Structure formats: structure tokens, C-alpha cells
Structure 1
Amino acid sequence: MSNKGCIKCGSRDAGQKEVAMTGTGLSKMLDLQHNKFVVVFCKNCGYSEFYNKQSSTASNVLDFFFGG
């Protein structure tokens, strides 16, 4: 039996979104959103994980989320 899926509820129904966030210091004061992430979330319970967009590709973040 495979126990891959959401680590909170076990669901395999996930989605993903891209988000941008400010850093600290001057970038926060100037609202420069240069930190980009891919967020993978469980559509069943809402559990979310952030992945740095620069080091992740869209094809493998769902594998990370499901423990693959």
C-alpha cells in the first residue's frame, strides 16, 4: 500500500500557485517582491508547502509534496 499523498490527510488532490514576497530591509520598505515561490497545497485540508522557484521546476514540486 502506498502512503504517498498529503502528509496531513493522505489526499492526492493537490494544486499549485506561484507567489512573490518581499524580503527584509530595503526591499521590504520599497515593497520589492523578488522572492518567488511555488506553493503546493492540498485541496482537501489546505496543508501547503513553499518551494523556491529558482531551485524547483513545475514538473517536480508535486513529486516533492507527495514524497516521490
Structure 2
Amino acid sequence: MKYKCPKCDNTTYEIDQIQATGGTFTKLFNIQNKKFTSVSCKKCTYTEFFKAKTSALENVFDFFTN
């Protein structure tokens, strides 16, 4: 992946993932049905988030493991 930080023009980065809840039902049962990929600049730590798809199976598994 070619990456160039929009703030400092650095080209080194880290990629990570986070999951979050979406609405009232998912908050009540702590179902993390939203997934995001983050790209963080290693120099200035500027971070961008990109929405990733989650499957129904992942959501069910998450429900039973919380």
C-alpha cells in the first residue's frame, strides 16, 4: 500500500482494526457490529478510519462471547 500522510507527508504507517457498537440494541447487548480499519502515521500519529464490512456470523459470535 502506498501511503502518504496528509499532514506531514511521511510514508511510514501502522494499520490496526477497531470494533464499535452501532445502536441502542447493540449497546444493550454489547454487540460490536461496526468494524473500522485505521491507518496511523508513525511520525505525527495522524489517524484515518475506514469502514470495514462485518458478517452476520461475526456478530452472532461476538454476542455469545461477551
Q: In the alignment, which residue of structure 2 is the partner of 1:13? A: 12
Aligned-residue CA RMSD in angstroms? Answer: 1.3
Q: Relative contact order: is structure 1 or structure 2 higher (C-alpha 8 Å, sep ≥ 6)? A: 1
Distance 2:21 2:32 in 1: 4
Could you give the per-residue CA deviations for residues 2-47 of structure 1, whole angstroms, max 9, x where no partner exists?
Answer: xx71011110011100111111211012111011111111111111
Report the 3-state secondary structure (helix = DSSP H, G, I; strand = E; otherwise coil) of the residue aligned with 1:33. coil
Distance 2:43 2:30 in 1: 33
Extract structure 1 runs of 4+ deviating beyond 6 A: none
5+ residue gaps, structure 2: 54-66
5+ residue gaps, structure 1: 55-68
Structure 2-normalised TM-score? 0.69
Q: In the alignment, which residue of structure 1 is the partner of 2:36? A: 37
Count of aligned pairs: 51
Distance 2:8 2:27 in 1: 35
The answer to which structure has the higher helix fraction is 2
Q: In the alignment, which residue of structure 2 is the partner of 1:59? A: none
Distance 1:30 1:45 in 2: 36
